[in-house]
Amino acid sequence: MEHRWDDDEELFADLVEAVRGVGPEPGTLAADARTTFAWHTLDDDLLLASLTFDSALSGVAGGTRAQEPDRASRLLVFSTSAMSVELVVDRDGRLVGQILPPCEARVTIEAATGEPTEVTADDLGFFMLPRIPADPVRLRCETAAARLVTDWVRL
C-alpha cells in the first residue's frame, strides 16, 4: 500500500521536523551517561524490586484528573515475587518504610549524587529516614534471607 513516506522528500521533511524539534544535545550528555552507568549492578543474586504502586499517579494514570492527588502523604510500593518494600513520604519530607514480610534489615538509601545513608529496619521491618534527598533515590535492603534493590524514583 502507498504511504507518504515512500517518497524520499516527504520522509525527509518529517524527519527534519522531528529531529529539529528535539533541540540541541547538551554538552554534558557523555558525562551524564557515564555517571548513570556507574550505577550499573552486575549481581545475579540481587533482586530488582519494581515500583508497582505510587499514590501520586493513582489519580492521573487513566488520563483523567478527576481525583486530586493525596496531599497529605505519598505511598509507594516496590515489589519482587518474594518481598516488597512500602514507603510513606509525608508532607514534611520524612520517610517511613516497611519491608514485607516483616523482618530485620539493613537499608541503604542511595542518591544519584551524594553519599548513601544507612538505616536499620526493626524486627517488624520498619525503618525511618528524617530527610529525603532531592535527587532520584533507590533503596538497597539486606535481610537474612535476601538482598534487593528498588527502582530509582524521585521522592
Q: Distance between CA 76 and CA 66 in Å, rounded?
A: 21
Return the number of the residue (18 or 144) whose C-beta is nearest another protein.
18
Structure-block grid coordinates of residue 88: 510513606
Return the number of the residue (71 or 81) whose C-beta is nearest another protein.
71
Q: Distance between CA 22 and CA 24 in Å, rounded?
A: 7
Least distance in angstroms from the C-beta of 116 to another protein: 14
CB 152 within 8 A of CB 112: yes
Q: Distance between CA 75 and CA 64 in Å, rounded?
A: 20
Least distance in angstroms from the C-beta of 13 to another protein: 10
Least distance in angstroms from the C-beta of 53 to another protein: 12
The residues binding another protein (CB under 8 A) are: 1, 3-6, 8, 11-12, 14-23, 25-26, 29-30, 32-34, 36-37, 39-42, 48, 54, 56-57, 59-61, 69-71, 74, 112, 136, 138, 149, 151-154
Least distance in angstroms from the C-beta of 24 to another protein: 10
Structure-block grid coordinates of residue 147: 538482598
Return the number of the residue (92 or 123) whose C-beta is nearest another protein.
92
Q: Is 148 exposed, middle or buried (0-12, 13-18, 19+ CB in 10 A)?
A: buried
